[in-house]
Amino acid sequence: MHRRNQWLCAGVAAALLAPAPLFAAGAGNGIYLEFGGGTGEFEWDDSDTEDIDAGLASFGYALDTAPLGPGVFNYRLNVGLASQNLDFDDHNVEAETAGIQVDNTFGFRIVSNDTVRWWAGPSVRVGLYGGDYDADPDYGIDGEDLAYFEFALGGATGVNIDLGGVILSPSVAWRSHGFAGSDDTDNGDFSGNHQTMTFNTALLF
């Protein structure tokens, strides 16, 4: 558990220290909305592994350093408020959490012209979440609190479309998430993973 947390903290630090040129010439700033879901596993330190379904949603600030034009590289930053629901498949238990997430995408041009840019590249995401479990006395859960860090790696692709004064930027991403944290149940520490597909729409100005 301690080694897993060390790797998790290292990943969080690396993502948060990634370059974010907020004032780059020609950058687009705006807002984004994202939702998605997937499946994975959840394990308390002293318990068996549980299968989970994960639901994700977030909204917040969006930055793209090169939303249009012939440049090869663009950096995409999303910083927002997020929610996650972890639904335990084998029991009537759901963890409902909310927090903050930071997503860094390093995009590379596939096709572009004066009004459209298609890009793709790797994504690095970190998040901090807290919430509680739905009560299920039969499973020994009575609404206890939980909190965890999350680190995710994956890939994203999207299209930036100039609509005249505003850029519409839909994108899709696949990520593999790892998380670790603790709760107020008798089991205490936990860890897990889930693989998700997300859909994101940003408006850039």
Q: What is the pLDDT of residue 163?
A: 97
Q: What is the pLDDT of residue 143?
A: 83
Given the structure tokens 């080694």, which residue do they identify?
3
Whether the pLDDT of residue 190 is over 90: the answer is yes
Domains in the chain, ordered, with CATH?
2-20+30-204 (2.40.160)
73-88/93-112 β-pairing: antiparallel
For the stretch 155-165, pLDDT in tens is: 999 999 999 98
Cα–Cα–Cα angle for 46, 177, 67, nearest 5°? 165
Q: What gap in Å lies between CA 169 and CA 68, rounded to an integer?
A: 11
Q: What is the pLDDT of residue 9?
A: 53
Given the structure tokens 């850029």, which residue do they identify?
167
Q: What is the pLDDT of residue 20?
A: 47
Burial class of 48 by CB neighbour count within 10 A (0 to 12, 13 to 18, 19+): exposed
Q: What is the pLDDT of residue 3?
A: 47
- CA 126, 129, 135, 139 torsion: positive or negative? positive
